[in-house]
Amino acid sequence: MRIGPGGAVILPAGTPHAYGASEGEPWTIWWVHVRGRDVDELVEACGIRPDEPLLSLRSLDRVTALLYEIVTSLERDMTPARLVATSGMAWRLMTQLAVDRLLPEDGTPVERAMRYLEDRIDGHVQVGELAAFVGVSPSHLAALFRQANGASPTAYRAHHKG
């Protein structure tokens, strides 16, 4: 399997694997071993399945910063307090990967619609007008909103309006 820039692989514990970089296009590898009662649930929330371990990282800089924070913490010492703090950092990394998967990507119709509503929080916006603005049908926009936010565009707007 080949992994490109901004890609990650999440492997369950005990999975045999080998890796290496191309001589012509070397890369940096970051890795972390995570274990605990909630790991399987977090991996599932990231959309990882045994037959599909690849993950596209939406915010490479943020993920790299979280990994760097974990490494830096463990380089300082391995006291019980430091290990607890570092486990929290690893939890944050895994939850960030899951959240990134669930939030709409920049430039998608639902993300553009959300920004449009947020920019016009005090104005009146019809769902049909919003759907036309982002280039999808009103029913498709409603389905996208429910998937991303668990609510309709109207409910999303009402929640943000306060």
For the chain, the farthest-separated pair of C-alpha atoms sits apart, in whole angstroms, at 58
State yes or no: pLDDT of 122 exceeds 80.
no
State yes or no: pLDDT of 68 exceeds 90.
yes
> How many Å apart are CA 66 and CA 95, to the nearest integer?
11
Q: What is the pLDDT of residue 162?
A: 64
pLDDT band at 144 (very low <50, low <70, confident <90, very high): confident
pLDDT band at 16 (very low <50, low <70, confident <90, very high): confident
Report which residue type is found at 35.
R
- On average, the pLDDT of the chain sits at 86
Report which residue type is found at 64.
T
> How many Å apart are CA 101 and CA 3, to the nearest integer?
18
Residue 55 belongs to what H/E stretch? strand 54-56
Q: In this prediction, what percent of the chain has a pLDDT beyond 70?
A: 99
Most confident range (mean pLDDT) of 10-19, 29-38, 128-137, 144-153 is 128-137
Q: What is the pLDDT of residue 91?
A: 92
State yes or no: pLDDT of 87 exceeds 70.
yes
Cα atoms in the 13 Å half-sphere on the side-chain side of 28: 6
